[in-house]
């Protein structure tokens, strides 16, 4: 009982200190303090899931420094303490966990890493889109699982270099063969750059999100994972249901029609 009373007394003293002896201004300041603290943690959680680039890292450092200065000037003690002592350790932990992403981001910040210098004509793009849609339909009808990632503006060389090199024209026959059960490339992804199948058997990074429906398997989680790290678009065909899905910018659309897939591919290729 004495220990409980001691803790309550300590809590009372702490609240008294934070609210300037429970003054009106002190209470308002403490509430603002807590709201800002919650907002910081929310943004930090979002930052962990976001794809990194050198611009975002610089922005984060600037905002962190600005918040540290503002909280010091306005005596927002809770936030100032967290920013000064806790956040740096959290940042170190994030850097350790995502060291590869940071390395690639810094790489891209100091070196121009566009997907390719070659151009693809409108006719070629239309033909590629038609081939990809027909391939998705073929695989879907036969419930053959597939994962096709189409590179955007950001280079996927770090994945291409670790996979089975193909560097071939895009054909339905080749794509379907790569995903047939029993082949060495069946469970991996195919990466397409412009008018070429660059590689197959790619191991994509899976998402860490906890809100993904359990009905979505490893292929879907991998497709979401790569979309969180770059601007690629990925087509998924479910081996269990035959449903076609697509991921881009961290989002997934499940069970789409071939017509809708065509629209998404046209949007993707329009910015390439």
**Looking at residue 199, which CATH number applies to its domain?**
3.40.1700.10
pLDDT tens digits for range 169-200: 999 999 999 999 999 999 999 999 999 999 99
**Which residues in 164-195 are b (16+ Cβ under 10 Å) and which e?**
eebeeebebebbbebbeeeeebbbbbbbbbbb
Of all helices (H) and strands (E), which one includes residue 235?
Answer: strand 233-237
Backbone CA torsion sign across 84, 96, 112, 49:
negative
Per the model's pLDDT, the better-predicted residue between 30 and 8 turns out to be 30
Smallest Cα–Cα separation from 52: which of 209, 228, 207, 226?
Answer: 228
Same structural domain for residues 19 and 98?
Answer: yes
Q: Residue 207: inside a domain, yes or no?
A: yes
Smallest Cα–Cα separation from 205: which of 221, 182, 183?
Answer: 221
Q: Residue 97: inside a domain, yes or no?
A: yes
Same structural domain for residues 135 and 266?
Answer: yes
Same structural domain for residues 160 and 78?
Answer: no
Same structural domain for residues 223 and 141?
Answer: yes
Residue 7: per-residue pLDDT: 61
Same structural domain for residues 220 and 134?
Answer: yes
- DSSP H helices, 50-200, are 54-73, 77-81, 87-97, 99-110, 122-141, 157-160, 172-179
Q: Residue 115: inside a domain, yes or no?
A: no
Residue 79 has pLDDT above 90, yes or no: no
Domain boundary among 110, 132, 154: 110
Same structural domain for residues 256 and 126?
Answer: yes
Q: Residue 116: inside a domain, yes or no?
A: no
Q: Residue 86: inside a domain, yes or no?
A: yes
Backbone CA torsion sign across 255, 167, 179, 115:
negative
Same structural domain for residues 143 and 234?
Answer: yes
pTM comes to 0.64
Asked if 232 and 246 count as a contact pair (C-beta separation under 8 A), the reply is no
Q: Which domain holds residue 45?
A: 2-110
Q: Residue 171: inside a domain, yes or no?
A: yes
Q: What six digits make up the tokens of 229?
A: 């790290």
Q: Into how many domains does the chain fold?
A: 2
pLDDT tens digits for range 194-225: 999 999 999 999 998 888 888 899 999 999 99
Same structural domain for residues 93 and 143?
Answer: no
Q: What is the CA radius of gyration of the chain?
A: 25
Query: Between the ranges 6-15, 44-53, 59-68, where is the mean pLDDT highest?
Result: 59-68
Same structural domain for residues 152 and 76?
Answer: no
Query: Can you tell me the mean pLDDT for 7-29?
Result: 62
Q: Residue 93: inside a domain, yes or no?
A: yes
Average pLDDT, the chain: 82
Domain boundary among 77, 110, 143: 110
Domain boundary among 81, 110, 139: 110
Same structural domain for residues 140 and 224?
Answer: yes
Same structural domain for residues 136 and 81?
Answer: no
Same structural domain for residues 100 and 205?
Answer: no
Q: Residue 117: inside a domain, yes or no?
A: no
Task: To the nearest 10°, report the CA torsion of 250, 59, 30, 13.
Answer: 100
Asked if 271 and 248 count as a contact pair (C-beta separation under 8 A), the reply is no
Smallest Cα–Cα separation from 126: which of 174, 170, 190?
Answer: 170
């Amino acid at each position: 009982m004495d220990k409980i009373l001691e803790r309550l007394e300590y809590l009372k003293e702490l609240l008294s200190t934070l609210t300037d002896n429970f003054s009106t201004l002190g209470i308002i300041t403490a509430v603002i303090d807590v709201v800002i603290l919650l907002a910081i943690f929310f943004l930090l959680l979002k930052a962990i899931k976001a794809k990194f680039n050198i611009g975002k890292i610089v922005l984060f450092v600037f905002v962190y420094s600005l918040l540290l200065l503002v909280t010091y000037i306005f005596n927002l003690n809770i936030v100032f303490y967290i920013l000064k002592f806790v956040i740096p350790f959290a940042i170190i932990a994030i850097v350790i966990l995502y060291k590869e992403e940071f390395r690639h981001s810094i790489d891209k910040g100091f070196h121009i890493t566009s997907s390719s210098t070659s151009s693809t004509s409108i006719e070629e793009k239309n033909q590629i889109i038609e081939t990809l849609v027909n391939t998705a339909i073929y695989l879907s009808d036969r419930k053959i699982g597939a994962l096709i990632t189409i590179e955007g503006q950001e280079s996927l060389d770090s994945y291409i270099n670790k996979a089975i090199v193909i560097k071939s024209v895009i054909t339905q026959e080749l794509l379907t063969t790569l995903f047939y059960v029993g082949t060495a490339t069946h469970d991996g992804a195919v990466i397409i750059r412009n008018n070429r199948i660059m590689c197959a058997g790619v191991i994509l990074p899976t998402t860490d999100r906890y809100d993904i429906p359990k009905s979505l398997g490893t292929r879907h989680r991998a497709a979401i994972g790569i979309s969180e790290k770059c601007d690629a678009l990925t087509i998924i065909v479910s081996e269990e249901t035959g449903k076609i899905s697509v991921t881009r910018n961290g989002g997934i659309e499940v069970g789409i029609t071939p017509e809708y897939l065509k629209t998404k591919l046209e949007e993707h290729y329009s910015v390439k």
